[in-house]
Amino acid sequence: MTKQTVVVALGGNALLRRGEPLEADIQRHNIQIAAQAIAKVAEHYNVVLVHGNGPQVGLLALQGLEYKKVNPYPLDVLGSETQGMIGYMLMQEFKNLLPERNVTCMLTQMTVDANDPAFANPTKPIGPVYQAEEARALAEKYHWTVKPDGHYFRRVVPSPLPTGIVEHQAINTLIADGHLVICTGGGGIPVKYQQGKLVGVEAVIDKDMSAAFLAKQIGADALLILTDADAVYLDWGTPTQHALRSTTPSELANYQFDEGSMAPKIQASCEFIKQGGRLVGIGALEDAVAILNGQVGTNIIRDH
């Protein structure tokens, strides 16, 4: 029996959790935990993994600002660096857990529309969290846009919608050959066509939107979004908060979610379902297999 294909979206905050020091050893430890959970999914499905890069791309940007002898590298270049850094660690851990499995990490470019309104309204958090006073000082020093992130503040950058995957044919070939594929890391390296040539774009694409776009393009059976919440909640942070266990795009249209965290996940999920996807699961990393089985987390299915 042919295995079904699931696109797994793993948040950058699962690799460097909120408030943790941005250390390589800490990231490697978290990646070991993530790989163990996703390897269990790979026992039953063809897995295509998309990872976030918010903390990591922000760290590289900060490091670049401290070295004054060269101009800071643009976000598309930093995004490619995070694809290599995170992809290397993930690929190594998967190979240790699944030595007989082909595991391939692919640098992936994602096209965006240069006229996307996201460029005028930065929303994508990158880098570490700051207290309000420090965030204001850094915003003034580096001309950043900063916005609240929970009880803290973070730098935010433009996050345009993906419009195409440059390497999609190669990804399909790897899936057909049975590889566990790591691709479109950090949402993909943002690029655009300019006079017929690809050029980089100063942005960070939302990894959930890219995962949904990828899932639609490769005809995946399911999209699994792993996050730091165990489900999608209504009335989050209030005494009446409660989890949605099974829902549809039309039901979700009645609710509002936080633009900085859950809203992009809901938007990406509904887009995938409306474009013909069968199932989206949202929940905690450790529950990955159980979410796909409908036992925990939130399942989003087609409207009846």
Catalytically active residues are 12-13, 124, 207, 265
Q: What is the DSSP string of the chain?
A: -PPPEEEEEE-HHHHS-TT----HHHHHHHHHHHHHHHHHHHTTSEEEEEE--HHHHHHHHHHHHH-TTSPPPPHHHHHHHHHHHHHHHHHHHHHHH-TTS-EEE---EEEE-TT-GGGGS--EEEEEEE-HHHHHHHHHHHT-EEEEETTEEEEEE--PPEEEETTHHHHHHHHHTT-EEE-SGGG-EEEEEETTEEEE-S----HHHHHHHHHHHHT-SEEEEEESSSSEEESTTSTT-EEE-EE-HHHHTT----TTTHHHHHHHHHHHHHTT--EEEEEEGGGHHHHHTTSSSEEEE---
